[in-house]
Structure 1
Amino acid sequence: MSKSRKAPIGISGFPVAPFNHQNELDQEALKKNIEFLLEEGLESIFIACGAGEFHSLSKKEYETMIDIALTTVNGQVPLYTGVGGNLSEALEKAKISEQKKVDGYLILPPYLIEGEQEGLYEYYKAIVSSTDLNAILYQRNNAILKADTLEGLLDYEQVVGLKDGHGDMELNVELTQRFGSRLGWLNGMPMAEVTMPAYKPLGFDCYSSAISNYIPHISRMFNDALQSGDQDTVNEIYEDVILPINDIRRKGKGYAISLIKAGMNIVGLPVENTVRAPVAPVTSEHYEELKVILTKVLDKYPPKTRIINVK
């Protein structure tokens, strides 16, 4: 466990929770998912978070996923868990994460309730102060922090970053201008590659990549082009990969999760196109649309580290 009070930078990998057709966690598939991300050089791993269907995991499954991640990552990159939802459960998961000696956790929004700023402050404060782990606050849905509220939370040295999945660029400008390097800034928008060119000038130097679960070399190529100012490559990847996949993602509720599993299944990773309710699997029509895109993408941009055969 690192005591460095610094948020991850670069591309963050968010492994899925692979379920078999008996609705059980497939531990070997999870291990291969994490290995695949590490092979492509992703700079951090976030286990049992949104893409990992955090909301549907039992305590035992949550602990199992962390154990597999710890063994597989083995200190190569920072490892964060997901905590949040019901406050009591969030505190329990925070304690589990500390006991297992991960590097930190991403605090997801509280369940359903829309609280005032004072209530949000108390929610985050309770979790942040419950352990000594690094904490990244997730800005989205019913948990949108105003600048003064965030200022109060920065009294706790555990708070190392803010991840934005809300997309209010006026608020992002205000926050990054006010707090600057006091926090790490992570782009957590759905299909974050779409918005990363707008986030980068504000100081966001990290983003979660959904497509990294099945075409991580494209995530790397895109990020390298963005960082070096290679706008032609950025535009080309937008046209060939990011915008077509994002168009499918917007066709179904829950596709932020299930489309990842479909992509992984298409490229031959041992992940079934299965999710837990209320999320639904990708329809056969949209699955085939994604397959066509990935076939073209892998033909034009073949990965250097391994051979991928679309199935």
Structure 2
Amino acid sequence: MQALIGTGVALVTPFKKDFSVDTEALTKITNYVIEGGVEYLVILGTTAESATLSTDEKALVIATIVEANNGRVPMVLGVGGNNTAEVVHELKTKDLSKFTAILSVSPYYNKPTQEGIYQHFKAVAEASPIPIILYNVPGRTASNMLPSTVIRLANDFKNIVGIKEAAGDIVQAMKLIQAKPDGFLVISGDDMITLPMVLAGGAGVISVIGEGFPKEFSEMVRLGLNKKVADAYKIHYKLAESIDMIFEQGNPAGIKEVFKHIGLSENTVRLPLVQVDENLSQRLSDFIKKLV
């Protein structure tokens, strides 16, 4: 899984003002992040507002990104949910031939035990024809996938190749890095602690801010992977303010506001999400002007 070391970006789904999928803007964003130096793309994750996309819209998003990418960088597809049987069915019936791996979130809302999480991903692993990256994001799922459960899965299923760890807990991340089997990727899911995780032995990041500022953020991660600590932290502190801002009023409202200011897409989000307020919009605009 060397292809998934570095910076992956969780692509948004841009919408027109009438809330339809904006394929032209999605093509522009895909080109923008690839030309900015990211190592891979993540399609239909949380940042894509996948919870509000229809089946046809999801197919349109995939087709648009596949065409725009044109084989330039690896792609990871979000395939997850809280109905295990439905996830298994999707994995068995969907064409995954274009993808390097799937990203599969720990079941949300049901609040399973650690054994329930293990059994869910056991079923996913047995159904998936391609490698799996687990996704732990307790702030959204209401349950924390503990390091012991992750390591158990990593040891039991060879096609479970990594985890996007987004608990926001550097100690938990370090426990994963310490106990993981060789080759298993511990990937940051929190932009603000990406560099500390990389320096501790992490494999990189699946990022939101890296979508807005791909050149700077992906360079920071590469410097971190090469243990060029001072140079990496210089970029980290240059971007830190923007990381706080894009999550201040929800994701992807913040990053879509960045795209509006740099001229790549509208800032439209679908309910129950709403656009950021004028104050945050102005602060993001000021930051962008200062950065460039």
TM-score (structure 2 length as normaliser): 0.89
Q: Distance in 2 between matches of 1:43 and 1:135?
A: 17
Aligned positions of 1:62-211 closer than 5 A = 62-87=58-83, 88-95=85-92, 97-141=94-138, 142-154=142-154, 155-189=156-190, 192=191, 194-211=192-209
Bigger helix fraction: 2
Unaligned 5+ runs, structure 1: 299-311
Asked whether the 8 Å contact 1:7–1:160 carries over to 2, the reply is no
Q: CA deviation at 1:208?
A: 2.1
- Report the count of equivalent residues: 287
Give the corresponding residue for 1:301. none
Is the aligned partner of 1:277 residue 2:271?
Answer: yes
Residue 215 of structure 1 aligns with an amino acid whose one-letter code is: F
Give the corresponding residue for 1:23. 19
Q: CA deviation at 1:178?
A: 1.6
Give the corresponding residue for 2:34. 38
Asked whether the 8 Å contact 1:7–1:183 carries over to 2, the reply is no
**Quick one: structure 1 residues 38 and 63, their matched pair in 2 at CA, closer, same or farther if it must change by over 3 Å?**
same
Q: CA deviation at 1:42?
A: 1.1
**Quick one: structure 1 residues 139 and 284, their matched pair in 2 at CA, closer, same or farther if it must change by over 3 Å?**
same
Residue 161 of structure 2 aligns with an amino acid whose one-letter code is: V
Q: Any idea what the Cα deviations from partners look like across 1:166-203, whole Å, max 9, x if unmatched?
A: 023333222222224241111011xx1x2123212332
Unaligned 5+ runs, structure 2: none
Asked whether the 8 Å contact 1:128–1:158 carries over to 2, the reply is yes
Is the aligned partner of 1:52 residue 2:48?
Answer: yes
Residue 259 of structure 1 aligns with an amino acid whose one-letter code is: G
Asked whether the 8 Å contact 2:10–2:42 carries over to 1, the reply is yes
Q: CA deviation at 1:59?
A: 1.0
Give the corresponding residue for 1:290. 284
Residue 184 of structure 1 aligns with an amino acid whose one-letter code is: L
Asked whether the 8 Å contact 1:85–1:108 carries over to 2, the reply is yes
Q: CA deviation at 1:45?
A: 0.7
Q: CA deviation at 1:225?
A: 3.8
Asked whether the 8 Å contact 2:195–2:221 carries over to 1, the reply is no
**Quick one: structure 1 residues 247 and 102, their matched pair in 2 at CA, closer, same or farther if it must change by over 3 Å?**
closer
Q: Distance in 2 between matches of 1:231 and 1:99?
A: 37
Q: Report the aligned-residue RMSD.
A: 2.2
Q: CA deviation at 1:123?
A: 1.4
- In percent, how many aligned pairs have the same letter? 26
Give the corresponding residue for 1:268. 263
TM-score (structure 1 length as normaliser): 0.84
Q: CA deviation at 1:100?
A: 4.9
